[in-house]
Amino acid sequence: MDPLEMGQKFSLRQELDRDANLQFLPAPDVRKVEKRPILQRKLCIVFGLVAAAVSLSLLTGILVWRFHLHQDMAKPRVYVGSMSIANQRFLSDYEDPDSKPFVKMASLVSQQLRVMYDTNTVLTKYFQRSSVEAFSDGGSDSLTAYYRSEFSIPEPQQDSVDVAVQSLQMAAGSQKSRQGRVLLKPQHSLNVDAVVTKAIDPRMTSSSLLVKKSFNVHVREGGVIQSPGFPDSSYPSNVYLQWRLRADAAHRVRLDFQKLILEDDCQHDFVKIYDSLAPIEQTAIAEHCGIPQHLLSFVSSGNVMLLTLVTNKEKNFPGFIANFSQVPLEPPADCGGTLSGDVGQFSSPYFPSSYPPRTSCVWNIQVSKGKSVKVKFSKFYVGNDSIDCSRDYVEVNGRRLCGSKEGSTTVASRSNLMSVKFNSDWSYVHQGFFAAFEAFIPSDSCPGSFRCSNGWCVDSRLHCDGVDDCGDASDEEECSACAPNVFRCKNARCVSRTTLCDGKDDCSDGSDEFKCEKSGDVTTCSDSSFRCKNGHCLDKVNPECDGEVDCEDASDEEACQCGLQPYRSSRIVGGEASQEGEWPWQVSLQLVGQGHACGASLLSGRWLLTAAHCVQDKGSARHSQADQWEAVLGQHILSQPNEWTVRRKVSRIVAHRHFDQFTFDNDVALMQLDSDVPLNQHIWPICLPSPTHRFPAGQEAWITGWGASRERGVAGSVMQKAKVGIISSSVCNIAMNNEVTDGMMCAGVLKGGVDACQGDSGGPLSVISPNGRVFLAGVVSWGDGCARRNKPGIYTRVSRYRKWIEEHSGI
């Protein structure tokens, strides 16, 4: 493609000479000055002065007359619109405004417009001219034409013309093409379905705009658009530039800004993006100036998008650079559907890109019977805040939410079903939302506190204190202490022991039916069986967070807000660059003033797990001190913080007391952050395996980090990932001279070439379970060199330390 077309290299002068579409304001003629005899010149000057004085007073007179007596002097007003034509199809020739088919169709459309304006007494009076600017595929065998119509309207009549234009829109929609058929020759008739016309943004027709230029870009192959001169020089003054972006049929245009640096005042310089090929106000989806603080990324509703840049005279800045591409039109996977399982995540379409306009998605969430659903929106930027949320909104069980919400918003249902609808209207889009849902047992919906009958949660110390704290007095009901041979329910009720396990919910919180053995479900406990919180054991291998409730108390599916990879697609030695956001629990541990030193894994908003050997004092280096460390989360390229990056100070380090410096036994440490990190799709905890979680030999696992990419190499910049296999400890001990203890596990590729290395320590060995949830199998600990043949990597076996982790962090 011609680089000029893309605005890649743009010398304004050069463009002016080349472009036939340019429109200039009339500039004064340059007169030739010749030398004449002095007397003649003096006479000329006198004459000139007199003439100038006369014409000046004449001009002043005319101006006064015009403005004071003739206030209704006509002014130009430009409307832009689109017309949907049902009996015409889009031809590829229509992408070229110079092609014969374009010119022919354009003239038909102009005639059609003329006919339409002529049917209206107001419009016909002031109409000047129309020009067709572009065509696009209107879908289902129709053609969309984009046009501008100029009117010359006396000031007081402007409003009535606006109204007339508006009414035209409706007329075309309801009467279809009647006007067209009546007045155009039958063979030229256009079956007009809908017309949308609106006065153009006045900043786009300002008389100071010297240059108007359009670029036509097909986005199929992807590429880059940048403002003229970017980034070496500022964009030119007084220009209106527009890029008409088209995708293939059944595709959408996607535009991702890498940088945008414009003047701060949007009245002066701005970019404006439309879900259309003409700057029709109803289809404006974004306007930006200054330096936006967040990601600017847009997706169209159809296969076209218009990007415009308008600048004024003063203060020019570097401009912008943006990537374009096309994505399939088909409803994206993240737009609606049925969500089952007791935990999960979903987001608005294309999140974290802005959602497209004119989109609607419905998710139906269904969790296990007997539980309720809780949806937590950790990001919520949906339209503008309004009372009725009539434009862009999220509707949860019939209640609408809109606007931007800082922090997180949680909505709960009373049943195991919840429906979430997302809707965007024609104009102005936002980033959307990211949500996680979770099933909860209604009686557990007040963790740590007393649940009133009306659903309120009150401090459990207020229960039976003689004061109605619930408002329905339920905290003061049944307050007698239970007699010794009577069973005390979880909700403090007392029921007869004879009612235990009789299949009836006598406590009305189910607690008298919890610890009952059901045939088949419960086995006697062995060392390898999973133990539910109620002390019962399961036969099933790795039942935790597998999406099925196996324990009667559902404790196997509790605390499962972990281990999901929103960006999963398909340094480390022998690895490859990971995708941004693919390993949202990977943390870079940095020594203050020195940078990256170790990896770690996020376990919750507050806790990290790393290797004890990372936090040992070394000579004068006090690595065991919390204040020496900073944790960086949400990072992809080590040296480049992005909008997801979060830094936290470390407030506490708990290294395993029995870490052995010589054998590296018990190489595990916890780090507490000074404040919670926000959880989102770039920062998300990994699941901890239960003490009996099995990671059989041969199972696939992933190592990730910014460590060296070869033995004695330096730390990498893009987070690397590599696939390794779990190796049985008996095989491993043969290779590693019996140095592998029960607290360690081996993983690697025995033929060599793939391994963790210096700088990866403390980071995760992640195992993706069959249902997609990721468990922390190991912590990068040690090795014999890196990636040597028959020398696998050695990891701290996390399941062995599950209890230790709980004891020291409460997780």
Which residues have a catalytic role annotated?
613, 667, 761
Cβ 705 vs Cβ 571: under 8 Å: yes
Question: What is the smallest separation between the CB atom of 707 and ligand ARG, expressed in angstroms?
Answer: 6
Q: What angle do CA 552, 553, 555 make, to 5 degrees?
A: 115
Whether 621 and 627 have beta carbons less than 8 Å apart is answered as no
What is the β-pairing status of strands 239-246 and 211-218?
Answer: parallel
Three-class SS of 491-517: CCCEEEHHHCCCCCCCCCCCHHHCCCC
Which helix H or strand E contains 214, and what residues bound it? strand 211-218
Compare residues 381 and 585 and give the one whose CB is closer to ligand ARG.
585
Shortest-Cβ-distance residue relative to ligand ARG: 783
Helix, strand, coil share (%) of the chain residues, nearest 5: 20, 35, 50
Residues 357, 283: Cα–Cα separation, whole Å? 9
411 SS3 class = strand
Q: How far is the CB of 664 from ligand ARG (least distance, A)?
A: 8
The Cα–Cα gap between 760 and 781 comes to 9
797: Cβ–Cβ under 8 A, 6 or more apart, which residues? 742, 743, 744, 745, 777, 778
The least distance separating ligand ARG from the CB of residue 611, rounded to whole angstroms, comes to 7
Residue 16 phi, psi dihedral angles, 5° rounding: -60, -40
Closest approach of ligand ARG to the CB of residue 477, in Å: 59
Question: Is the CB of residue 88 less than 8 Å from the CB of residue 215?
Answer: no
Nearer to ligand ARG, 432 or 778 (CB): 778
| CA dihedral sign, ordered 118, 120, 125, 128 | negative
- Quote the least distance from Cβ 746 to ligand ARG, whole Å: 10
Least spacing, CB of residue 650 vs ligand ARG, in Å:
17
Answer yes or no: are the C-beta atoms of 217 and 274 closer than 8 Å: no
Cα Rg of the chain, angstroms = 35
Q: CA-to-CA distance for 100 and 348, rounded, in angstroms?
A: 43
Question: Comparing C-alpha atoms, which of 601, 671, 674 is closest to residue 633?
Answer: 601
Beta carbon of residue 302, minimum distance to ligand ARG (angstroms, whole number)? 51
DSSP state for residue 162 in the 8-state scheme: H
Q: What are phi and psi of 742, to 5 degrees?
A: -65, -20
Residue 781 CB, nearest approach to ligand ARG (Å): 7
**Closer residue to ligand ARG, CB minimum distance, 275 or 760:** 760
Residue nearer to ligand ARG on the CB measure, 543 or 748: 748
Establish how many alpha carbons lie within 13 A of residue 347's alpha carbon, considering only the half-sphere containing its beta carbon: 22
Question: Toward ligand ARG, which CB reaches closer, 782 or 801?
Answer: 782
Residue 346 structure tokens: 């979903």
| Least distance between ligand ARG and beta carbon 600 (Å) | 12
Phi, psi of 95 (to 5 degrees): -75, -15
Rounded Cα distance, 490 and 630, in Å: 42
Residue closer to ligand ARG (CB basis): 97 or 752: 752
Beta pairing class for 337-340 and 239-246: unpaired
Chain contacts with ligand ARG (rule: CB under 6 A):
707, 755-761, 780, 782-783, 786, 793
Residues 6+ apart with CB under 8 A from 83: 109, 112, 113, 144, 145, 147, 172, 190, 192, 194, 195
Shortest Å distance, C-beta 747 to ligand ARG: 9
User: Which C-beta is closer to ligand ARG: that of 12 or that of 731?
Assistant: 731
Residue with structure tokens 């990932």?
721
For ligand ARG, the closer of residues 81 and 793 by Cβ is 793
* Residue 673: both structure tokens together: 């952050």
What is the distance between the alpha carbons of residues 62 and 59, in angstroms, rounded to a whole number?
5
Name the residue nearer to ligand ARG (CB basis): 601 or 758: 758
Choice between 123 and 765, CB closer to ligand ARG = 765
Q: Which residues are CB-contacts of 35 (< 8 A; sequence separation ≥ 6)?
A: none
Whichever of 608 and 786 has its CB closer to ligand ARG, that residue is: 786
Backbone angles phi, psi at 11, to 5 degrees: -100, 120
Q: Which is nearer to ligand ARG, 296 or 703 (CB)?
A: 703
Q: How far is the CB of 767 from ligand ARG (least distance, A)?
A: 16
CA dist 357 and 363 (Å) reads: 18
Residue type, 644: W
What's the CA angle centered on 226, arms 278 and 349, to 5 degrees?
A: 65
Distances (CA, A) of 684 to 566, 647, 649, 763: 10, 14, 18, 15
